[in-house]
Structure formats: C-alpha cells, structure tokens
Structure 1
Amino acid sequence: MREGRIAAGAASLALTSVLAFAPAVAAAPGALPQAAPTSRQPAKPQRAPAAKCNKPIGQPASAITVEPWAQRRLDFEEAWRITRGRGVTVAVVDSGINTDHPQLKGKVAGAYDASGTTPDDCLGHGTEVAGIIAGTDMRSRNVPFVGVAPQVRLLNAKFASGENTVDNSLLAKAITWAAEHGAKVINVSSAAPDTPALRAAVKTAQRHDALIVAAAGNVTEQQRGKESAAYPASYQGVLSVAAVDEAGTITGFSNIKSRIDVSAPGENVISTLGDGYAGGLQGTSFGAPYAAGVAALVRARQPNLTYQQVINRILITAEGGNGRGSGHGMISPLQAVSALVDPNATPGAAGARPLGGAVRFPKPEPVDHRSRGIALAVAGGAVAVALAVAFAGAIIPLGRRRRWRPGRAVLPAEERD
C-alpha cells in the first residue's frame, strides 16, 4: 500500500498552506491556481466543471488483513451503543471527497470548490480524511475498516488541488463556506500561516457554533529546531490534534510548536482512497479526523452543548498527557460521549473530572463449556461423597449395636389386631 507523503514546500510553512502529511517521501510541487470563487456561495452542491482528474485507485479491501490498530486502540464502537453521529454535519476542508467510494456513497450533502478546479478528490487526501470520520460499517462484507461516526452527513469544502498552495485565502474561504452551510464540526487537516483572513474565518465558524478540529502540522528533519506554530491549530477555541504511534508515543514528525489539545492515532493509519484503501498513512492529518469524529459523536449525543463545551468535554475525558506535545492525552470516544461531566467545567479547573466515569456496556464473557463441565463433575462428585459419608455415619453405629444381625419389623398396633 501507499506510504505516507510530504507536502511539497513544507519547509516554507510560513509561506504556504500545506496538507498535513507526514515527512516520508518528497512529492512534486503542486501550487494551486489563483482562481477564487464568487462572494455568493452556492447553497446547493455544485456540479463539477469539465476538468481532468486522475483519481487515485487504492487497494482492495482484501489487502486489510487485520483490524486497523487505531480502531482497536480507540474502541469507538463502544460509543455506538449510544450514538453513531446521526443528525450532525461534518465539513471536510481538504482536497475534495470521492463520493463514489462504497463507504462514503450518499454521505456528502453539499460541495464547494474554492480552488476553481473540481470538487472531486484528485489527490486522495480528503477522501482519506473523510473515511476516518464517516466510513460506513461494512464489516458484514469483510471490510475491516470503519469510520468513527458513520451516520454523520458530510460537506465537501475543497480548497486544495495539490499538496500545497501559495494562495492562503482559499483555506479561509472553504472554512467560511462550511460554517455558513450548517457544519457543526469542521475538520482542517492542513497547516497554514496566521493571516487576517484565516483568523476571520475561524471567528465566523465560532459565531455559527461550529467546532473546528485542526491538525497540529508536521515537521521534516530539515525543520528540526526551526519549527513554527501552525494555524488554525494554534488559535484559541480550535481543537488542536497531535499524532501518536501504536505505542501511544508522540511521533517524531508531530509539530510540538503548535498549541496542542489532544492526541490521536497518526502513524501507520488505514483509510479510504479512490474506490479502495490506503495503508501506511502517517501525519497529524489523520489524527485530526479521529478527533473530529469524536466531536461529532458528542454533538449528536448532547446537541445543546456549545462548541467550546464540546471541546472542554473532550479534553476533560482524554486519557492524560504523555509527555511534551501530547496535550491532555489520547482522545477517549466512550468517555467523551458518556461520562458525567459538568457542562460548564473547564479543563484543569478544580472538579473538572468525569463524575462517576463512563457508563460502560460490558460484553458477556464467552462460556467455557469444558471448564463448566469439569466444575459440574467435581461438584457432583463432592455431593455424592458427602451423601455416602452421611449414610455411613447413620448405618454403621446401628449395625454395630445389633452385631450386624437383621432387625425385626414391628407393625403398628392397629395392624396387629
């Protein structure tokens, strides 16, 4: 399967918006065209203009031989007993979404293309992000991969047609469109410089009570010691997500200069691509959608909470920091959805802890018939021995008194007449 990728021009993070791929192999530069949308954004899904798009193909589901480790680690299926995200709209601000993928078909409720190319995903990154958030449960058809919140609706807010762009206004336009078209959670798996337009877009989203989840960004070997904060992750009121590996350790590429709230799986990740799947994915790009899926589950369960209250809840129920750059620790889907938390609590404040913990739904233990049979046999044997001892205790003394001679039956008086 395809390995992780690096955003071309990532070293010039302060100059360009980049998708938050991890540094693995260099990719060819792909600066976006300068075309911008009109000021009036469409309320209905756009038709794709005529444009060439060589969509990535991906690998077949049969290539996934085990359940992805991120699913095992987060165990978000436990939260599905309470909610799967129905009624919540999540925007994927990225490179587009392949709406033909079997696990994403019928989920995209609206689309917008800030890049002026096509809402289709010609890069694959947005489809990978969307799959982690909302991939349909198809395990009955031998597809081990599932999304965190499979019943959410998606908005396809495309701003990138390549892995980087010199036009930083496109990201801001895509975020604004998503907020104004009903997104309650907005996933931004990209890193950009701090600009007035981006700040304004984030404030617009917050005024619409939309919760922005953003990747903390990645660093290359060449950037070590020269990292700078990535945006929108470093803005206050944005849920900033770092990447961890299978051991729960912050990855070497996760940008610790960004403000970090929580961490999530971001190395050796599997997700949707083209009409198939990609593995070996790495980057904070893939940690963010796991957190976005959890935010959608919380918003579906407790729709009266504000975006900031949802963020606070996710932080309070996280598993606890694991060193520098991990924030409040690994996201905990079940705890975030079910724990008893004061809605007005703030992380770090006195008493800002789950009250009584999560409401868990334990699975019944499998019956071990062999052990049960042995136990019943032992118990039955013990009863038989006890009865034999009791019988012997009553009969032997009587036999001794009679010197083991048979006794005579005595009839009742009425029967002797």
Structure 2
Amino acid sequence: MVVGRRFGPARRTTTALLTGLLGVLAPLGAALPAWAQTAPADGYWATPPPVDESKRPADEGKPDKNYTQTKGCVQRSTLGQNIEIKNRPWGQEYLQISKAQDIVRAATPDRSAGGGIKVAVIDTGVTNHPWFQNRLESGGDYVAGTTRGQKPGLEDCDGHGTEVAGIIAAKPDNPEVGFVGVAPDATIVSFRQLSENYGPAKETAAPPASSTGGTPSSSTNPPAGSETQLPPSSGGGGSSEGDHTSPGQTNGGRQLEKEGTAGTLKTLAEILVRIADRGDIKVVNMSVDNCRTADGGITAGEQQVQAAIHYAASKDIVIVAAAGNVTDKCPQNDQPDVKRPKTIVTPPWFADDVLSVGAIEEKTGSVAPFSVHGPWVGVAAPGTKIISLDPAEGSSGLANLTFESGDKASEIQGTSFAAPYVAGLAALVRAKYPNLSAKQVVNRIKETAQHPAAPGGRDQFVGAGVIDPVAALTQILPSEVGNMAPMPSQQMAQLPPANDRSSTPVIVALAGTAGGVVALLITVFVMRTVRRTRPAETTSTRR
C-alpha cells in the first residue's frame, strides 16, 4: 500500500539536477519555483519544506467570511444528580502539579504560580468563568460578532476553549475543590478562531436553540449550580458527529477547514501574527488541528500557518499544540516507517517551532489510542478523564462529562486537553526562569521529561516523554550554562612499577617465610617434649 508520494527515478534525477542548478542561481537573485521549494529530498512528507516567510498573512482582525450560528450553544445540563466534584483529577496528581506550584511560589517575588505570564488560547473562545477572577482578557474574534454583550473572544458557544483554558489557569475559590489550573495565577488571552456551532452564512442555517433550552450540554452541572460526576451506569461512548453542542473530544476534537463550520488555516495564521506583534504574550496554546492524508506537498493554508508560527517563535513565544485525535478522516500513523506518515497534522507538523503534545491515558499511563502518532510529537501529558471548568454561560462549577447525540454521556478526553497541561507548565517555567528564551523553555521541558525506552530517548508516540513539572522547575541543565558537564579525568594510582623480570625477591621472601615456619614448629615440638618429661622426673626424686 502506498503511504506517501514517491517520485520515479527519472523524475527524481531531473528534480535533483534542476533544484541544484536553481540553488546555484538563487544567490544571484533567481527565485526557486514552488515545486522546487516544497519537494522533500526522499519523496516523503514527514518533514515539512523550509519556511516561506513571504506567505505570512497580514492580520485583518476579523473572520475570513460571514458566519452565522447554526446550532445551539453549550448549556447547563439537567441530568445532574447533585454530586459535587471535589477530587483532584488523576492527571493533576500524576504530574505533581501542587508541588510544582509550591516550587514556583517559593522562587518568585510575588509568591504566585505564573503571575505576570500571559497565555494565549486560540480556540472556540473562553467563557468568563468566575474562577478566572480578573485574569481573562479579550484577544479577538475571528468567527462572528458577539451576541450576548461579551468582549471579542469571551463567548464560547462550543464549550471547548473554556475547558482548555481552565486546565491552564483556573483558580477555584472553594478550598474543598481539588481541581486547579497548572498556572493558576497566569492570565488567559482568548482568541475565538473556530466553532462547529457556526457555519458560512450562505448555507441554510437552522434556528439556534436558546441558551436556556434545546440541545444537550457538555456541562455536567444541574441548574442549582452543583456538579455531577460520571454516573455509574454511563457507557462513555459518544461520537464527535453528534449534535456538536458539546466539546466532542471522544473522537476528534476541533478540526480546522471542516465543511460547514467556522475556522480556517488562514485565520489561525492571522491570529499568530497578531499575537507576535502584541509583544506581551509569552505562551500560546492551540488545541485545534487540521488533519489530512500525506499524499502531496504543503498547501497554501499550511504555508501561511508555518510562516506565522515561525514569525511568532522568532518573537520569543513558546508555541504549544495538540498532536491531534484519530478519526475516520484522520487515520492513525501506524505504518512501519515513522518517516513515511499516512497522516499530516497541522500545526504539529512544524516541529521546529511548535511543541506538540500527545495524550496518555489513566489506566496504563501509556499513550492513548486516539492520540495521533508522528515524528513531530514533542512530549505527552494526561488526556483522559478530564475535569475542568463548566463552559456553560452563567456556570460557576466544574464539568467532567460531555453529552453527544442526545443524552448519551462520555468522559472528556483528547489531545486538546493534554496540550494545556504543557502550556501551563511553560508558564510556570517562564515565571521561575524569566531569562530563558522560548527555545530554552521548550528544551527544558523536553530534557526533563520521562523519556521512553527508545533510541535517543524519544519515539513517535510520546516524543521525548511524559512531562515532569517538578524536574522541569528544579533540574540544572548544562545546556543552559553554555557548556557540557565536565568529563571526569582518569585518576592514575601512584604505585611503584611492577617487577616482572626477576623472581629472586619472591623466592627470598618465600624462603624466609618457610624458614620461620620451620623454626616455629621446632620450638613448639621442644616445648611440648619438655613439659611431658618434667612431672615424671619430680615424682621419681620424691620417692
């Protein structure tokens, strides 16, 4: 089965000759044609072509087209059982997030965990949940104008972006609640870039359901405001092809360029340019993906995203992206040769400037089956049994379920929710080590990860391994002090040279020892003889 594009021998030879000739002419002002810029040397597409900075778009600050709401927004569930969620998520415990936060608080002047660090969330928007306090800012809206009086980017009809942002920076005001964001003092800057509840205006749109009734919600909160855990009888299935009024992370996440929805590669690139030009954002989280088969070169939209990502990275911004979820239209990269992928996922494909995050599951701690593999995977983090903020408007609690296809409940999961664990860690690292560059922050996260048992300490499943926040915040890395760890010098033993030419000293020593032993034996023999005869002599004298 062909899993990638491969050129025939004749075309490869011709391509190589022409590319070499054009490469000689390039310094003289000759521009390489598009096919020469994009064709990889081996005919496969595991590695993207070089960045074409001319493809970086200008930020227009608005949607690429007119979109209208076609489905009801996320709502507060009426299926609750008045059970509060107070336990800590397993991922939070697994990563020892509380210890990591204590380390940062002890090392920073304001005793905060991520204070002063702004994290951009490019997603479906972020609801102004009370547990963000005043640490939520408007970034922009590239889907539609607000409909409920919110600032641009602070309306989340899908519910996805709020849950992502909650894992990064939520700070509950109830001490009994175990859940907390990784960097609970960081500031979230929200950019609404896509939505599956909006579609192009030219399409026939169904009347949207009201915010208080209609389709099911991704929230598990009952109307009274208390939270609901997963009911014991819930099956947990679900499908991302349901009514799309919930986060839908069971099987796909939020996909760019999806027919009938809002969100394109072009607007993603524009937002990255906007973030880079702002100058105050230190970390970006993108839990959005474009997935396609690896049957051709880079597309125009991918070139725009690649150029924008490179531009943002050059502005000292840590860029984190979800590795992507397996679906029918996004098959797993399970081919024998990892360098010949069947599937390309953007933005993770651009691994030189992006730290992409795969997901691990609770039961085994191994890579989750829905996490897309690839040579571009950077690290991994928990991505199943997610607990985060309830994204429904007006809610003040937590959610741990998503409802798809009516009342069918399933757990929240996906690489979308593994990525914010890493973005939150990046915020903590930047708070504790303000002098580190973005590349050094990424390097620190990778080098301190729990490396897999694979050549070079990395593989296509979890990259450099599952993140270790405590290690990332405490280890001393030789690469950060400008030199490698010193090699221990060989210590020579100060002994006299061995005498291998003459055996006389040994013979003399052995002879002396033997003589001493003989003398000792004679002495012992004489003493025993004297002691034996002496009593007999005394007895005979007395008689």
Q: TM-score range by the shorter chain?
A: 0.5 to 0.7
Counterparts of residues 236-255 of structure 1 (less than 5 Å): 236-246=352-362, 247-255=364-372
Which residue identity is paired with 2:182? Answer: V
Q: Deviations over 1:310-360 (max 9, x none)?
A: 0000011111126651111111111111211235489xx9759xxxxxxxx
Q: CA–CA distance in 2 between the matches of 1:61 and 1:68? A: 19
Which residue identity is paired with 2:162? Answer: T
Q: Deviations over 1:366-390 (max 9, x none)?
A: xxxxxxxxxxxxxxxxxxxxxxxxx
Where structure 1 has 5 or more consecutive residues not aligned to the other structure, the ranges are 1-36, 43-48, 353-417
Alpha-carbon offset, residue 41 of structure 1: 4.5
Counterparts of residues 337-356 of structure 1 (less than 5 Å): 337-344=473-480
In the other structure, the counterpart of 1:335 is 471
Q: Deviations over 1:33-83 (max 9, x none)?
A: xxxx994649xxxxxx99897343367995325221011101111122232
Which residue identity is paired with 2:91? Answer: A
Aligned residues: CA RMSD: 2.9
Kindly indicate whether the alpha-carbon contact (under 8 Å) linking 1:109 and 1:153 is maintained by their aligned counterparts in 2.
yes
Q: Which has the larger radius of gyration?
A: 2
Q: Deviations over 1:86-129 (max 9, x none)?
A: 11110000000001x12123111232011234320000100010
Which residue identity is paired with 1:95? Answer: T
Q: Which moved more, 1:253-262 or 1:337-346?
A: 337-346
Kindly indicate whether the alpha-carbon contact (under 8 Å) linking 1:148 and 1:290 is maintained by their aligned counterparts in 2.
yes
Q: CA–CA distance in 1 between the matches of 2:324 and 2:368? A: 11
Which residue identity is paired with 2:75? Answer: P
SS in 2 for 1:103: helix
Distance 1:345 1:250, change over 3 A: farther
Matched, 1:269 2:304: no
Kindly indicate whether the alpha-carbon contact (under 8 Å) linking 1:113 and 1:159 is maintained by their aligned counterparts in 2.
yes
In the other structure, the counterpart of 2:266 is 169
Distance 1:340 1:60, change over 3 A: farther
- Name the count of aligned residue pairs: 306
Alpha-carbon offset, residue 145 of structure 1: 1.1
Counterparts of residues 75-86 of structure 1 (less than 5 Å): 75-83=96-104, 84-86=113-115
SS in 1 for 2:345: coil
In the other structure, the counterpart of 1:292 is 423
In the other structure, the counterpart of 1:54 is 73
Distance 1:199 1:50, change over 3 A: closer
If the length of structure 2 is used for normalisation, what is the TM-score? 0.52
SS in 1 for 2:450: coil
Alpha-carbon offset, residue 174 of structure 1: 2.0
Q: CA–CA distance in 1 between the matches of 2:287 and 2:436? A: 24
Q: Deviations over 1:221-277 (max 9, x none)?
A: 662458412121121121111000012100111100251111100011111122232
Q: CA–CA distance in 2 between the matches of 1:147 and 1:122? A: 22
Distance 1:255 1:234, change over 3 A: same
Match of residue 115, structure 1, among 125, 128, 143: 143
Matched, 1:90 2:119: yes
Q: Deviations over 1:170-228 (max 9, x none)?
A: 21122222232221100001112651110111012112111100111011266245841
Kindly indicate whether the alpha-carbon contact (under 8 Å) linking 1:93 and 1:159 is maintained by their aligned counterparts in 2.
yes
Q: CA–CA distance in 2 between the matches of 1:317 and 1:113? A: 36
Which residue identity is paired with 1:230? Answer: V
Q: CA–CA distance in 2 between the matches of 1:325 and 1:350? A: 29
Q: CA–CA distance in 2 between the matches of 1:243 and 1:192? A: 17
Which residue identity is paired with 1:288? Answer: A
Kindly indicate whether the alpha-carbon contact (under 8 Å) linking 1:243 and 1:251 is maintained by their aligned counterparts in 2.
yes
Kindly indicate whether the alpha-carbon contact (under 8 Å) linking 1:233 and 1:258 is maintained by their aligned counterparts in 2.
no
Which residue identity is paired with 1:127? Answer: T
If the length of structure 1 is used for normalisation, what is the TM-score? 0.67
In the other structure, the counterpart of 2:6 is none
Where structure 2 has 5 or more consecutive residues not aligned to the other structure, the ranges are 1-56, 105-112, 147-152, 197-253, 258-263, 292-297, 335-340, 401-410, 454-458, 487-543
Q: CA–CA distance in 2 between the matches of 1:331 and 1:127? A: 23
Kindly indicate whether the alpha-carbon contact (under 8 Å) linking 2:379 and 2:464 is maintained by their aligned counterparts in 1.
yes
In the other structure, the counterpart of 1:12 is none
Q: CA–CA distance in 2 between the matches of 1:174 and 1:71? A: 30
Which residue identity is paired with 1:109? Answer: E
Matched, 1:63 2:84: yes
Q: CA–CA distance in 2 between the matches of 1:242 and 1:158? A: 23
Q: Which moved more, 1:291-300 or 1:202-211?
A: 202-211
SS in 1 for 2:373: coil
In the other structure, the counterpart of 2:285 is 187
Kindly indicate whether the alpha-carbon contact (under 8 Å) linking 1:227 and 1:255 is maintained by their aligned counterparts in 2.
no
Q: CA–CA distance in 1 between the matches of 2:474 and 2:177? A: 28
Which residue identity is paired with 2:321? Answer: A
Counterparts of residues 3-402 of structure 1 (less than 5 Å): 39=59, 41=61, 54-57=73-76, 62-83=83-104, 84-99=113-128, 101-118=129-146, 119=153, 120-140=155-175, 142-162=176-196, 163-166=254-257, 167-181=264-278, 182-192=280-290, 195-220=302-327, 223-224=331-332, 227-235=342-350, 236-246=352-362, 247-257=364-374, 259-274=376-391, 275=395, 276-279=397-400, 280-321=411-452, 324-344=460-480
Alpha-carbon offset, residue 304 of structure 1: 1.0
Distance 1:82 1:64, change over 3 A: same
Kindly indicate whether the alpha-carbon contact (under 8 Å) linking 1:230 and 1:258 is maintained by their aligned counterparts in 2.
no
Kindly indicate whether the alpha-carbon contact (under 8 Å) linking 2:115 and 2:186 is maintained by their aligned counterparts in 1.
yes
Q: Deviations over 1:126-185 (max 9, x none)?
A: 001000000104341x32211000011111011012244433212112222223222110
Distance 1:324 1:204, change over 3 A: closer
SS in 2 for 1:243: strand
Which residue identity is paired with 1:190? Answer: V
Distance 1:205 1:269, change over 3 A: same
Q: CA–CA distance in 2 between the matches of 1:38 and 1:113? A: 16
Which residue identity is paired with 1:151? Answer: D
